[in-house]
Amino acid sequence: MGETYNAYKEFKKIVQSSGEKMGISEDEYKVFLYPEREFMVSIPIKMDNGKTEVFKGYRVQHSGIRGPYKGGIRFHPDVDIDEVRALAGWMTMKCAVVDIPYGGAKGGIQCDPAKLSKQELERLTRKYTMMIEPIIGEDIDIPAPDVNTNAQIMGWIYDTYSTIKGKSIPGVVTGKPLVIGGCASRVAATGRGVVITIENLLKEMKKDITETTAAIQGFGNVGSITAQLLYEKGCKVIAVSDVSGGLYNPDGLDIRELLDYIGPERKLLSGFDKEGVSHISNEDILTLNVDVLVPAALENQINADIAEKTGAKYIVEGANGPTTNEADKILKERGIIVVPDILANAGGVVVSYFEWVQNRECDRWEDDVCNNKLKAIVDAAFNEVWLTAEEKDVTLREAAYMVAMKRLIETQKIRGLFP
d(CA 360, CA 372) in angstroms, rounded, equals 21
d(CA 286, CA 109) in angstroms, rounded, equals 28
* Catalytic residue annotation: 106
Interacting residues of 260 by C-beta distance below 8 A, sequence separation 6+:
none
- Do 331 and 315 contact (CB within 8 A), yes or no? yes
DSSP single-letter state for residue 5: P
d(CA 417, CA 414) in angstroms, rounded, equals 9
Helix axis angle, 81-97 relative to 347-361, nearest 10°? 80
**The predicted structure's pLDDT at residue 3:** 64
- Do 129 and 160 contact (CB within 8 A), yes or no? yes
Evaluate the omega torsion of the peptide bond into residue 101 and state whether it is cis, within 30 degrees of 0.
no
Q: Which residue segments constitute the domains of the chain, with CATH numbers given?
A: 34-171 (3.40.50.10860), 187-344 (3.40.50.720)
Q: What is the pTM of this model?
A: 0.94
Taking the chain (419 residues) in runs of 10, the rounded mean pLDDT of each run is: 79 93 92 96 97 98 97 96 97 98 98 96 98 97 95 97 97 96 90 98 97 96 96 97 94 96 90 93 94 93 95 96 94 97 96 96 92 97 98 95 97 92
CA distance to 43, 47, 143, 384, per residue, from 51 (Å): 14, 5, 29, 54
d(CA 102, CA 140) in angstroms, rounded, equals 10
SS3 percent helix, strand, coil of the chain, rounded to 5, is 50, 20, 30
Amino acid, res. 283 = E
Helices (H), 107-184: 118-132, 151-165
Burial 270-307 (b: 16+ CB within 10 A, else e): eebeeeebeebebebbbbbebbbbbbbbbbbbbbbbbb
Furthest-apart CA pair in the chain: how many Å? Answer: 68
**The predicted structure's pLDDT at residue 1:** 42
- Do 414 and 355 contact (CB within 8 A), yes or no? no
Per DSSP, the residues of 198-242 read HHHHHHHTT--GGG-EEEEE--SHHHHHHHHHHHHTT-EEEEEEE
Residue 281's φ and ψ, nearest 5 degrees, are -85, 170
Strands 236-242 and 292-295: unpaired
